[in-house]
Amino acid sequence: MTRPALQDCRISPLAAEELADAAPALAALLAATVDAGASVGFLAPLDPAAAEEWWRGRHIVLATTASMWVARDADERIVGTIQLHHGGQMPNGRHRGEIAKLMVHPGTRGGGLGRRLLETAETEARRRGLAVLILDTETGSPAEKMYASAGWTHCGVIPDFAQDASGMLQSTTLFAKRLDGTRLGSGGRPALG
């Protein structure tokens, strides 16, 4: 895949009812991402049928507690995706959300698409009234550097938290971001409206 120009990639929401049709393309993206070494919950080599089944299983999540976007190149191929899980299920956590499964096709990386996907999810989180977002990523990965440069706060590292795509235990870095632009603190602030 040749790297598309950043302006040639269109980011759009993907509704739960569109997931079945998009599952094969999303499975190809997931497999390419895992095969390139990304730690997104799967081990290489990833069986394409298993990847497609995983995406189809996300239907109920998208229908109830998450939003998802896909990035398509000029040829309408899916070259990136991101999910925003809305607010906690318990009353004291409804102000926060989680970023998940940010993936950019290896042939598309380096042009800012990951950052655009992240900004898209942050904008939706603000629209939904969320105040804090969290995420985790493999320590030392290119994604870790992107999150830090995008204003996310490094909150800690969990050693040996997950296996990378090759099956080796790796540390995971936790990040958080307040969406009102203020720095994360030690608590004790009044709750947001």
pLDDT tens-digit map of 158-176: 999 999 999 999 999 999 9
What pTM value is reported for the model?
0.92
Residue 43: count other Cβ atoms within 10 Å of its Cβ. 12
Question: Does the pLDDT value for residue 44 go beyond 70?
Answer: yes
Q: Mention every residue, 6+ apart, whose C-beta is less than 8 A from residue 91.
A: none
| Residue 8: per-residue pLDDT | 81
Phi, psi of 188 (to 5 degrees): 80, 5
Higher pLDDT, 186 or 126: 126
Cα–Cα distance, 111 to 178 (Å, whole number): 26
| Residue 3: per-residue pLDDT | 55
The number of residues making up the chain comes to: 193
| Residue 77: per-residue pLDDT | 97
* Confidence bin at 28 (pLDDT 50/70/90): very high
For the chain, the average pLDDT equals 92
* Confidence bin at 4 (pLDDT 50/70/90): low
Radius of gyration (Cα) for the chain, nearest Å? 17
* Confidence bin at 192 (pLDDT 50/70/90): low
| Residue 89: per-residue pLDDT | 79
- Rounded percentage of the chain residues whose pLDDT exceeds 70: 92
Cα–Cα distance, 5 to 73 (Å, whole number): 8
